[in-house]
Amino acid sequence: MRVEEHPIINFTRGKKVNFFFNGREVEGYEGEPIAAALHAEGIKVLRHTHNKNRPRGFYCAIGNCSSCLMKVDGIPNVRVCVEALREGMHVQTQSGRGELRDNN
Ligand code: FES
């Protein structure tokens, strides 16, 4: 199943692109929400909670909760339900709160 429309973001499905989920090459369509591409690939667990390490996936799908926080191209806490997919992205399951990189 693939998400075709979104209630708050207007996305146009672009060309088929490859990206990486936890180091594994997968496919999606440029411009669709990352979570939608993962869902279409059968990937339902997007992160694990800080306190009890419980799995979380799509919930609100409109950027209002924190269920879909993932690490994208090294940046933690990205809400992948409203983040557009691009060729070559590296998307990782996040555990806990995620750590920000120190840019100093
Ligand atoms: S699923 Fe709620 S913010 Fe993404």
Query: Which tens digit of pLDDT belongs to each residue from 16-56?
Result: 999 999 999 999 999 999 999 999 999 999 999 989 999 99
94-104 per-position pLDDT tens digit: 988 877 666 55
Q: Angle at the Cα of 34 (from 9 to 66), degrees rounded to 5?
A: 80
Gyration radius (Cα) of the chain, Å: 13
Atom of ligand 1 nearest to the CA of 69: 4
Average pLDDT in the 64-83 region? 94
Tracing tokens 């909760």 back to the chain, one arrives at 65
Predicted local confidence at residue 6, as pLDDT: 75
d(CA 83, CA 33): 5
pTM for the complete prediction? 0.88
Q: Ligand 1 centroid to 86 CA: how many Å? A: 19
Whether 9 is in the pocket of ligand 1, judged by its Cβ within 6 Å, is no
CA distance to 34, 38, 55, 86, per residue, from 18 (Å) = 12, 12, 25, 8
